[in-house]
Amino acid sequence: MKTVGLILLILLGVCVLLVLAAVIRTLATPAKKSEWTAKREPEREAEYAEKLARMVRVETVSKKSEEDREKFLRFHRELEQLFPLVHKTLEKTEIDCNLLFRWKGKSSDKPVVLMAHQDVVPAEGEWLHEPYSGDIEGGKVWGRGTADTKCSLMAFFQAVEELIADGYVPDQDVYLSSSCTEETGGGGCQKLVEEMKRRGVRPYLVIDEGGAIVEEPIGGVKGHYAMIGVLEKGMGNLRISARSNGGHSSMPKKNSPIARLASFVRDVEKHDPMIVEFEPEVAAMFKTLAPYGPFAYRLLFGNLWLFKPLLKKLMPSISPAAAALLRTTVAFTMQSGSDAVNVMPQEATVTINLRYIPHQDREASNAAIRAIAEKHGLEMTDLGGHSAYPPVSITSDAYHLVERVAGEVFPGLPTCPYIMTGGTDAAYYQAICDACIRFSPVVFGPDQMKGMHGLNENIDTFSLPGAVDFYKAVIRANK
């Protein structure tokens, strides 16, 4: 017993020394502060806000069950009026209302693709400003698509417009890419990529939506940060089915299809089968943000070498956002049963949407769900999907170019790698580009976060000049 006690005492002492070393290391590491504030340029803000407002006033809702070419052709005519030099100078290709412009540079060795989609999601509910009004009020442009993503579309069209007006010729080819099917998961962007393949074009850099200049990206980390998306999680859907002989509800049998599904759902939520782990890009994100947080944050995330096991236990229970960064997520989204209130279902189903993390890909994640389904006597049908896409190397020249440009255009703004938990059109470009970066150079505060696919979507006008300057700087920096 004395030996056991001595071993425990030694282990306790080692733990104390390790924690003490982490505390000393944290105290010795200077705390940082995000110093960036938006530069106000009233004349440019007004000009760009009006252009964005005109784009918002052309309704471009995309629906899987509907093809309305005319609304997108109207939008294209609006773009032509707003950006005449782009349309006069660049080579335009339209494929089923999806747009691809090529600005020929002095070289075609390292082409860059700037992209944002034309389509928007439907606008429902009661808005403070009509969803397609394009009202400019209170320092904001209001309407569906202002943030997602007509602001970026306006910004890079305007950037090229101004560079052409200045007589600038890019060192490398520049492509402007815009699909009209992003919000419905359609194949519009895929058609543009197939056209690029046909031409033998392999982009050096692609910049699409994803991260942004985010206010307080994690609770306690104050200020604004350029969250540069370098990894997009995978996505898939599963249908879980329970069967029986049915029957009248006046004589219900135990273990009915719905009861078995309910037990399955509870089992998955109570005993989540997904593996929690820090992807290298996630670890880099927290390490980058650590110096900007309060002491406890700096201690934990600045010393992942020590606290990673603890954080893997705690973070998934702290918030859904934290869980999404560390594991495949499982969301129960649809269910069905009997068509009548007094009939026991012969079949009941529940549908699951999964967002796959690289360390537990589609095959492994689906297998974990299948094992639980079979334990409850249920059938699983794979409705399709894909694993996570290869990440952009945060040590690559392309990533450093974006990081450097963001620092130059937005002085005092820290940059940080970011993990995309949603889907983007940039995924299609992964087939021909190793550096598909998800980053919109606009400010996303609480209002923009709430308005994304929700009510009262808007963008601050002060965001717009910086966004235009960012795209101009990317084009100039790509030598």
74-115 residue pLDDT tens = 999 999 999 999 999 999 999 999 999 999 999 999 999 999
pLDDT at residue 29, as a whole number: 86
What is the number of alpha carbons within 13 Å of residue 175 lying toward its C-beta?
25
| Residue spans of alpha helices (H) in 271-344 | 280-289, 295-301, 304-318, 320-326
Burial label for 194, CB within 10 Å (0-12, 13-18, 19+), is middle
Q: Give which of 207, 151, 177, 51 is closest to 452, Cα–Cα.
A: 151
Quote the pLDDT of residue 247: 76
> Residue 115 in contact with residue 177, Cβ under 8 Å?
yes
The per-residue pLDDT for 159 is 98
User: Higher confidence at residue 319 or residue 203?
Assistant: 203
Mean pLDDT calculated for residue range 351-372: 97
Which CATH superfamily, name and number, covers 42-232+389-477? Zn peptidases (3.40.630.10)
Q: Nearest Cα to 146, choosing from 51, 50, 52, 48?
A: 52
In whole angstroms, what is the distance from residue 92 CA to residue 76 CA? 11
Amino acid at 340: A
- Higher-pLDDT residue of 186 and 439 is 439
Q: How far apart are CA 407 and CA 271, in angstroms?
A: 43
Per-residue pLDDT, 210:
92
pLDDT score of 446 more than 90 = no
* Tokens of residue 284, six digits: 């880099």
Residue 373 has pLDDT above 70, yes or no: yes
If you average pLDDT over residues 449-478, what whole number do you get? 95
275: DSSP letter = P
Average pLDDT for 319-345: 90
Q: At residue 59, what is the residue type? A: E
Across 437-452, average pLDDT = 91
Q: Which band of pLDDT confidence, cut at 50, 70 and 90, is reported for residue 8?
A: low
Q: Which token pair is 243?
A: 């069967």
- pLDDT over 90 percentage in the chain: 80
Q: What is the mean pLDDT of residues 447-457?
A: 89
pLDDT at 13: 66
Q: What is the pLDDT of residues 374-395, one digit of tens each?
A: 999 999 999 999 999 999 999 9
399: Cα separation from own chain's centroid: 17
Enclosing H/E stretch for 147: none
Tens of pLDDT along 26-69?
888 899 999 999 989 999 999 999 999 999 999 999 987 767 78
DSSP string, 57-94: TS--B-BTTB--HHHHHHHHHHHHHH-HHHHHHSEEEE
* pLDDT value at residue 394: 96
pLDDT at 219: 82
Q: Which of 359, 282, 366 is nearest to 330 (CA)?
A: 366
> CB burial class (10 A; 0-12, 13-18, 19+) of residue 382?
middle
CATH 3.30.70.360 fits 234-386, yes or no: yes
What pLDDT is stored for residue 64 in this prediction? Answer: 79
Q: How confident is the model at residue 71 (pLDDT cuts 50, 70, 90)?
A: very high
Is 1's pLDDT higher than 70? no
Residue 18: is its pLDDT beyond 80? no
Nearest to 289 by CA among 297, 280, 281, 278: 297
Domain range list for the chain: 42-232+389-477, 234-386
Task: Give the pLDDT score at 197.
Answer: 98
Query: What local confidence, expressed as pLDDT, does residue 224 receive?
Result: 96
Tens digit of each residue's pLDDT (9 = 90 or more) over 268-297: 999 999 999 999 999 999 999 999 999 999
Residue 174 has pLDDT above 80, yes or no: yes
Average pLDDT, the chain: 93
Residue 14 has pLDDT above 70, yes or no: no
Q: Which residues pair with 114 in a beta bridge?
A: 176, 207
